[in-house]
Structure 1
């Protein structure tokens, strides 16, 4: 009789699956926008609409959760921040090599720390501030603003990371009073109308050559989100973070194979600093929670 995998191993596997799916999504988004000339707002609209269709049965089963909130405006603000993040991310992939974009998106946790300290007024230790400074230094090395090759479009993934971080900060406040189901359903239901409003100017038509790509992107987005959420229900962030960082390998590898985007030396040095700062921060947080890694079920 075959035994099920231990809980931490299942969580790690789900995180790796999520990272691989997100890497495939990023590759398809870059192919649609950079190679086929599809408008970024249009691509984003169809990507998340297709993902929404995947979740309709779950939304219907949990529909009563919609009525339990008294924080509707906070949900709207959170969705607005998330929409800005996904729109800027897709737009960034139409200009920035995938290796640079994915390396810069790793800055998001440091923006969360900034938001927690400056907006939520949480206690932020000197170690956490040190990690933030080190991570931002890594981002500067990747961007290389002193280089003649630097373009302002390289800041789009950084802006996406900042908006996603802001959305995470609002999410943390929402979950103090609302269930996970309520927070998730509001995001899923409001994303598509907001994306549609932004896509209106560019139109909703896509080149025929990209139809299968956008369908794949939508389905992979839903699968990645499902795997990610499931992983975090089985293990905490400190345990899962190293497996999450494997998405960098997947994205860089696909960028080289599909587009011929070979990272330069700045990427490796900057990313090393960001990963070191992230690991340092998570290690300090894990020491405060000695039982942070769950045991096998």
Structure 2
């Protein structure tokens, strides 16, 4: 009889890799904000260089494994997905560049699954139950609490992370459509190979501003951490079911709040924790609701 221990360890390692991804993303967000707010790097340039370094970091590994076929039945849909992903990156980095606190930005981008739920009903023909609508309503209420649009501290820059959440939700919706016809390897390869060039084109209107030595050190660190974070995410989903590891993704919120406090001295207001609790609670309910058929 085989021992049950390896099967028991696999979910645990998946959770560890998801937490490591959260740590890496906290480093990415903090250093990205250092590059744009303290070192004066334009947001479009920072986004382009970040994903260029990330591409260079993972390319040797990809070449050793053999690049998957880029053959796709819907090239324009693949291109649209990459374009939306690049726009989301630009919006996210612009928010950090305008001084949106890291913890607040992360909490707002966590509303993306609720946008996916709405989009799945509108564009993919999926049935959105009353329970899903309840989760979406509570999640967006949490985002509204965090934004606090009627307070004196509200600024239009706070909408950048929300725009990134909407754009990345579009990426997820297109990906669901593509995976019905294309191989997962092809879908991943398109994003890997095209994100840096598309960000380069988007950075051209503002001009590419090459950083100084300190800027390069920060950008290289951001790019390497981006590659590591994506690698940890891949390992997390490979080692355990998504329903198991997804709750550990929420650890990124306190990690980013901690990083923002240590580096920028930003202390989150009570409204952020209330809004984050609504978002996390709604997403956990949505995850539980979606996992019930699989469990049955």
TM (norm. structure 1) is: 0.94
Matched residues in 2 for 1:74 and 1:62: separation?
24
Q: CA shift at 1:234, angstroms?
A: 2.1
Q: CA deviation at 1:62?
A: 3.5
Gap regions ≥5 residues in structure 1: 292-297
Please give the alpha-carbon distance, in whole angstroms, between the structure 1 residues aligned to 2:160 and 2:10: 37
Q: Which residue does 1:84 correspond to in 2? A: 87
1:146 deviates by 1.0
Match of 1:29 in 2: 32
Alignment counterpart, residue 75 of structure 1, candidates 75, 78, 89? 78
Looking at structure 2, the residues matched to 6 and 98 of structure 1 have their Cα atoms a distance apart, in angstroms, of 33
Give the one of 286, 289, 292 matched to 1:284: 289
Q: How does 1:83-162 map to 2 (within 5 A)?
A: 83-95=86-98, 96-162=100-166
Unaligned runs of 5+ in 2: none
Which residue number corresponds to residue 295 of structure 1?
none
2:272 equivalent among 267, 274, 277: 267
Shift of 1:284: 1.0
Secondary structure of 2:124's aligned partner: coil
2:31 counterpart of 1:20: no
1 CA distance for matches of 2:193 and 2:103?
31
Whether the aligned pair in 1 keeps the contact of 2:146 and 2:276 (CA below 8 Å) is: yes
Within 5 A, what are the aligned runs for 1:152-231? 152-200=156-204, 201-231=206-236
- Aligned pair count reads 288
Following superposition, the deviation at residue 149 of structure 1 comes to 1.4
Answer whether contact 1:38 1:207 (CA < 8 A) is retained.
no
The SS at the match of 1:63 is: coil
Contact kept, 8 Å, 2:68 with 2:189, in 1: the verdict is: no
Q: Give the alignment's Cα RMSD to 1 decimal.
A: 1.4
Aligned-residue offset at 1:178: 1.1
TM-score by length of 2: 0.94
Q: Which moved more, 1:70-79 or 1:200-209?
A: 200-209
